[in-house]
Chains A and B, each alone.
Chain A
Amino acid sequence: MADVDLSEPEKVYILHSVQENLREDGRGCEDFRHMEVETGLISNTNGSARVRLASTDVLVGIKVQLTPVDPKKPNVGRIEFFLDCSANATPAFEGRGGEGLASEITAMLTRSYSCFSAIDYTSLCLLPGQQCWLLYIDILLLECGGNLFDAVSIAVKAALFNLRIPNVTMTKDEGGIELDVSDDPFDFKRLDVSGAPVIVTVNKIGHQHVVDASEKEEACSLAKVMLGITEKGTVTAMKKEGSGSLDSESISEMIESAKNVGIELNKCLLNILKEEEAKIEEPVGFLR
């Protein structure tokens, strides 16, 4: 990430401002920064989305592929996450620089989506025991301005909402079953994302905690808790990160905040995506 090295008085200032519930940019502790979402902006994908959260910029593209099922789980489809920390974001990501961060984010995403209520995995299976869809979810980090995990998860959910899986017709012939993938762009099925989680990161700063921390605030925080939260408020994955330790009471409070914010985030996101779908407009992409 960008080099954020703060002096001690600056840290004290941020610490006090969090305590006062009036953060450096005037936000309260549970306020998110302004966010922009757009879906369907890359035509070569089956589903795509771009999310800009203040200066954090994430682009997600999903491609679907037919693949033999995992013999351990013969009647479900699979998803796989890949994250590319583009050196466009910061030169520190050059070469293998971003690998650690990438594996951390993908691990958290995999865990929050590994829960079966997240998306309907059985609908991704075409022929139980034989063929299923494999969703390659590729995430590209274009700019880092704090709170990457949340922004990435929102973009993933938006892209899944946008996902159009081509319909497949199955015909039985003498050799077995033949699969025929429709090439009509309007012959597709959608995925139900109402159970898909978003990740909410809660940073502990001093005695208080904040959501959607800026890079400066992240530099002041020694411990954070990340949770995958669905629209109903269930937790699909949880992880504590950072070199500090926390007591159980403050963890409970942080989870509570994360739950409230997570429910709100999911609701807002779904509303805005439905609104976008209702309008038929050309995507703006990167032009603005």
Chain B
Amino acid sequence: MPTDTRRITGPETSRSPYDYCQIEISKEENQNELIKSDKKRKDGRLAAQLRPIFLKANVISQARGSSYIEMGQTKVICAVYGPREVMRREDFSLKGQLTCDFKFTTFSCRQRRQHQQDNQEKDLSVQMLEALEPAVCLHKYPKSQINIYATVLQNDGSALSAAIMCASVALATAGIEMYDLVLASSLGVLNTVLLVDPTLQEEENIANETGKSPQNAGTMTLAFLPSLNQVSAMTSDGQFLFDMINKSMQQCIENCQKLYPVLQQCLVEDVKEKANLTHA
């Protein structure tokens, strides 16, 4: 296995101390339902309520386009570089290339992450790429590449959907031609309860719940192009009954549509700001 020799790595099998005390915690938590008696979730939201979103474009001045998103405690920053010429000659193509790089910072999760991209991050990079690719007019950028880098600063659930939206805004601020904005939404499902925009804790609870043979227990992430009315990416983990898939898909699409004005507003403000600067 290739390792980064320039860094001093700790022992390969080191573990966070929290792993060991978690057995107690999770027991306690499982007694608490995901939804409390007052129909509210732990953080006080209703089941179908999104977390408040903060979105800002142009946070990295040297990137061609960039943006920052906060969904509750989930924080993602994203930069777009390019279009620029493809460096490796054999990759010549009349269509442009899009690359995505999804990375959790080492301190973003409960367990410390490695500097090198692990399998989960690679998988998420691919999913992000597939969500964004249908929206970008790649045929307008022959022989060039566009690179997207998304970094999760803090992970509190739904990191993939946050990263997709963040990247979509970053692409738009970079002036890259797109058919549509890309919106994304995550959903946690436990039996018949649909939890919109789940937090990390809820995601973990659902993942642990699967041991007790529930009907549905899983998470789904869906990316959506609102004006074309097309789904550009969809992934699910965990067990879903067949009917539940459709229901969750509809719920995700609905949430995406709710988010559309947020992204639009952010971009409009960004354009206004830039216009003022050029006038001054």
What residues make up the interface of A, taking CB atoms closer than 8 Å to B?
A: 71-72, 74, 76, 103-104, 106-107, 110-111, 114-117, 121-122, 223, 225, 233-248, 251-252, 255-256, 259
Q: What chain B residues lie within 8 Å of A115 (beta carbons)?
A: 210, 217-218, 237-239
12 examples of A-B residue contacts, CB within 8 angstroms: A71-B15, A71-B22, A107-B119, A223-B134, A234-B241, A235-B242, A237-B237, A239-B234, A240-B130, A240-B232, A245-B134, A256-B242
In the complex, are the beta carbons of B246 and A239 less than 8 A apart? Answer: no
Main secondary structure of the interface of A (DSSP, over half): mixed
Select from chain B the residue with minimum beta-carbon distance to A110.
Answer: B119
In the complex, are the beta carbons of A246 and B218 less than 8 A apart? Answer: no
Q: With an 8 A cutoff between CB atoms, is B249 at the interface?
A: yes
Q: How far is the CA of A235 from the CA of B211 in the complex (A)?
A: 16
Q: How far is the CA of A191 from the CA of B9 in the complex (A)?
A: 38
Q: With an 8 A cutoff between CB atoms, is B19 at the interface?
A: yes
User: Other than the known A110-B119, A242-B130, what 20 A-B pairs have Cβ atoms closer than 8 Å?
Assistant: A71-B19, A72-B22, A76-B211, A103-B122, A104-B123, A107-B119, A107-B123, A107-B126, A115-B238, A116-B211, A117-B210, A234-B239, A235-B241, A238-B245, A239-B236, A245-B231, A247-B229, A255-B242, A255-B245, A259-B242
Q: How far is the CA of A61 from the CA of B78 in the complex (A)?
A: 41
Which residue of the partner chain, among B127, B218, B237, B246, contacts A252 with CB atoms under 8 Å? Answer: B246
In the complex, are the beta carbons of B230 and A245 less than 8 A apart? Answer: yes
Which residue of the partner chain, among B20, B135, B220, B250, contacts A238 with CB atoms under 8 Å? Answer: B220
In the complex, are the beta carbons of B249 and A104 less than 8 A apart? Answer: no
In the complex, are the beta carbons of A107 and B133 less than 8 A apart? Answer: no
Q: With an 8 A cutoff between CB atoms, is B162 at the interface?
A: no
Which residue of the partner chain, among A106, A114, A225, contacts B238 with CB atoms under 8 Å? Answer: A114
Select from chain A the residue with minimum beta-carbon distance to B95.
Answer: A243
Fill in one digit per residue for B210-253: 1 if any A CB lies within 8 Å of its CB, else 0.
Answer: 11010001101000010011111111111111100110011001
